[in-house]
Amino acid sequence: MPERILKKVLTVPVYDVAEETPFELAPLLSARMQNKVWFKREDLQPVFSFKLRGAYAKMVTLTEAQRQAGVIAASAGNHAQGVALAASKMGIKATIVMPKTTPPIKVNAVRRLGGEVVLYGEAFDEASVYAQQLMREHKYSFIHPYDDDDVIAGQGTIALEILRQHPKPLDIVFVCVGGGGLIAGIGAVLKQVWPKTRIIGVEPEEAACLTEALKAGERIKLAQVGLFADGAAVAQVGEKPFEIAQTCVDEMVTVSTDEICAAIKDVFEDTRAIAEPAGALAVAGLKKFVAERGVAGLEMAAIISGANMNFDRLHHIAERTEIGEKREAIFAVKIKEQPGSFKQFCEDLGASRAITEFNYRYADAREAIVFVGVKTEGGRAEQIRLLDDLREKGYQVEDMSDNEMAKLHLRHMVGGRAEDIQDEKVYRFEFPERPGALLNFLSRMSEEWNISLFHYRNHSDAYGRVLVGVQVPSNQQADFEAYLDCLKYPYISEQDNPAYHLFLSTN
């Protein structure tokens, strides 16, 4: 299989539409990592992602009759733009089916590139099924985003450029993984020319489909996929990419949302460009690998795969960056409810430590619980020392730095305890984000159970996130969760989350 891909890579004329992107040294990150780090800048393509390569590589193989009939694709973003631009260059009609939840910036970009957009379904899977239906009805050719030899070969041209731009073999190449087309193309080429170069795939922790497939020895379909890195939010790796990955991928790394946000900042500091979350995945994986393995003096590359992101998301990303870098810790701390206790706590933290956040509301005459953020330039080691130091001084401290409920919701709503709430159950939900989405979510909640807590923030993502408290008697718990399953919104019970018990629960 890799040999077949390499032959295609050597002949595909992607430069009719794509550009050879720079292979740049990242001096700041190199110095911090104590390794030489290179960025392959696929964010500089005409559509700001690598997807143009694979789309065009597939479309040039179409017969004249197929070109006359037109092409169709299902995509929520980068693949859609790649197909639209390639079709425009070739004079082919392109129909792109996109979920109704797709941000307007991406829909408008496809239209500007000449694609006919059809909005259908709440999520990619529904859009993909409808695209297949339209393909059969109109005899269109379907351009798959990753599970196709020609598409994989198009992405593999990135590896040919790296070979020209860095003649000496690299030690490691980090590649983001969604459906697997990119890592399959790069791995198929590099492993045949630089067999000792390690190919490491990077996935979000909440969408690790290739990681799980390689562990199991077969493709696994994830029951639920996190959507922060939407360009890599795929439930099942492609069949052909998985076949190649089994022989060409040496290792997988998974990264958290905070680590991705920190990597976006790293890319910006070295390039002054802003990568999308999936575009910075490889950098996040490189950093985590170096931190865990302690390697130094190596030559490494990370593929910056895309830069298509709503500007409004930057606030949320910046908010999470310092935590991802371990330069900020978030704690819940119990202190005495008496004059001078705040001042004493700040003194115990140490005058040299900057407090980034301090949230409090009176709730009890004996003790107060504060939600505090603290700068920790020494990383995780300093955070642990600070925790130990506060506990030695008699404080009860709960580390919230890795608590998703606390970071998404609690920090914006600290200080609300209701005295007479009984049988409260708390859940975190995700629902498709579009005008009227919050009202639709509320409308689908049954009036049989009373809503006792609600927090919602719009981060300009494709999905909205809410924290909901509902009064549900214990003998109705099974019925309530059966009802939630019928809503078809992903949810997580937060009933045992310490953040809830410390700040919101009456018990």
Tell me how far apart the alpha carbons of residues 402 and 323 are, in angstroms, rounded to a whole number.
Answer: 9
Average pLDDT rounded to a whole number, residues 176-195: 97
Tokens coding 499: 């953040």
Over residues 138-142, the mean pLDDT reads 96
Q: Stretch 466-481: mean pLDDT, rounded?
A: 84
The pair of three-digit structure tokens given for residue 99, joined into one six-digit string: 């979920």
| Confidence grade of residue 96 (pLDDT, cut at 50, 70, 90) | very high
Most confident of 290-304, 374-388, 457-471: 290-304
The DSSP element (H or E) to which 21 belongs, if any, is none
**For 268-282, how does the pLDDT look when each residue is reduced to its tens digit (9 = 90+)?**
999 999 999 999 999
Q: Is the pLDDT of residue 445 over 80?
A: no
Question: How far is 203 from 228, CA to CA, in rounded Å?
Answer: 12
327-402 maps to which CATH number?
Answer: 3.30.70.260
The per-residue pLDDT for 49 is: 95
Contact between 468 and 457 under an 8 Å Cβ cutoff? The reply is: no
Distance CA 238, CA 92 (A): 26
Q: What is the pLDDT confidence band of residue 420, given thresholds at 50, 70 and 90?
A: low
- pLDDT value, residue 435: 53
Cα atoms found within 13 Å of the Cα of residue 368, Cβ hemisphere only: 19
- Note every long-range contact of 221-224, with CB atoms under 8 Å and residues 24 or more positions apart, other chains counting: 224/490
Task: Point out the least confidently predicted range of 30-44, 127-141, 251-265, 356-370.
Answer: 356-370
Q: Write out the two tokens for 473.
A: 């008697």
What is the SS3 assignment for 28? helix
Question: Which residue is catalytic, options 8, 36, 40, 51?
Answer: 51
Q: In this structure, what DSSP letter does residue 311 have?
A: G
Q: How many helices (H) and strands (E) does the chain have?
A: 20, 18
Q: Which fold has domain 421-503?
A: Alpha-Beta Plaits (3.30.70)
Reported as type and span, the H/E element at residue 38 is strand 36-41
Strand order in the sheet with 251-255: 23-25, 36-41, 299-304, 172-176, 198-204, 251-255
Concatenating the DSSP letter of every residue in 111-170 gives HHTTPEEEE-SSSHHHHHHHHHHHHHHHTPEE--SSSSHHHHHHHHHHHHHHHHH--SPP
* pLDDT: which is higher, 85 or 100: 85
- For residues 420 and 433, what is the distance between their CA atoms, to the nearest angstrom? 33
- Output the pLDDT for position 2: 81
Q: Which residue has the tokens 């939840």?
A: 101
Per-residue pLDDT at 249 exceeds 80 = yes
Can you say whether residue 169 is alpha, beta or left, with left for phi > 0 and alpha for psi between -120 and 50 degrees? beta
Residue with tokens 């939630």: 484
Contact 500, 426 (CB under 8 A): yes
Closest CA relative to residue 271, chosen from 33, 34, 23 = 23
- Per residue in 12-28, pLDDT (tens digit) is 999 999 999 999 999 99
Q: Which helix (H) or strand (E) holds 358?
A: strand 355-359
What DSSP designation does 499 have? H
Rounded to a whole number of angstroms, the CA Rg of the chain reads 25
By the 8 A CB rule, do 22 and 154 touch? no
Residue 360: predicted pLDDT? 67
With vertex at residue 148, the alpha carbon angle to CA 103 and CA 123, rounded to the nearest 5 degrees, is: 25
| pLDDT confidence band for 362 (50 / 70 / 90) | low
Are 99 and 123 within 8 A, CB to CB?
Answer: yes
CB 415 within 8 A of CB 364: no
Classify residue 388 as exposed, middle or buried by CB count within 10 Å of its CB (0-12, 13-18, 19+).
exposed
pLDDT the model gives residue 34: 97
* Interatomic CA distance for residues 203 and 206, integer angstroms: 8
Number of other residues whose CB lies within 10 A of the CB of residue 218: 10
Is the pLDDT assigned to residue 442 strictly greater than 70?
A: no
Comparing 387 with 353, which gets the higher pLDDT? 387
Name the residue type at position 64: E
The 3-state secondary structure of 194-255, one letter per residue: CCCCEEEEEEEHHHCHHHHHHHHCCCCCCCCCCCCCHHHCCCCCCHHHHHHHHHHCCEEEEE
Active site residue 106: no
Query: How much of the chain, in percent, has pLDDT values that exceed 90?
Result: 52
Q: CA torsion, points 56, 58, 61, 62, in degrees to nearest 10?
A: -90
Q: What number of other Cβ atoms are within 10 A of residue 295's Cβ? A: 15
In Å, how far from its chain's centre is CA 58? Answer: 27
CATH classification of 2-50+149-322 is 3.40.50.1100, yes or no?
Answer: yes
pLDDT of residue 507: 65
CATH architecture of 53-142: 3-Layer(aba) Sandwich (3.40)
3-state helix, strand, coil in the chain (%, to 5): 45, 20, 35
Reported as a single tens digit per residue, the pLDDT across 329-360 is 888 888 887 767 767 877 787 766 777 777 76
Query: In this predicted structure, what is the pLDDT of residue 200?
Result: 98
For the chain, residues classed under CATH 3.30.70.260 are 327-402, 421-503
- Taking residue 361's Cβ as centre, other Cβ atoms within 10 Å add up to 14
- From 75, 305, 401, 505, active-site residue: 305
Rounded percentage of the chain residues whose pLDDT exceeds 70? 91
Q: Reply yes or no on whether 305 is catalytic.
A: yes
pLDDT by residue (tens digit) across 421-440?
A: 788 888 888 776 655 555 66
pLDDT single digits (tens) 34-85: 999 999 999 999 999 999 999 999 999 999 999 999 999 998 789 999 999 9
pLDDT (0 to 100) of residue 440: 65
The neighbour count for residue 117, using CB atoms within 10 Å, is 19
Task: Determine phi and psi for 292, rounding to 5 degrees.
Answer: -80, -35
β-sheet bridge partners, residue 251:
200
Mean pLDDT of the chain: 87
What's the Cα-to-Cα distance from 211 to each of 218, 235, 250, rounded to whole Å? 11, 11, 11
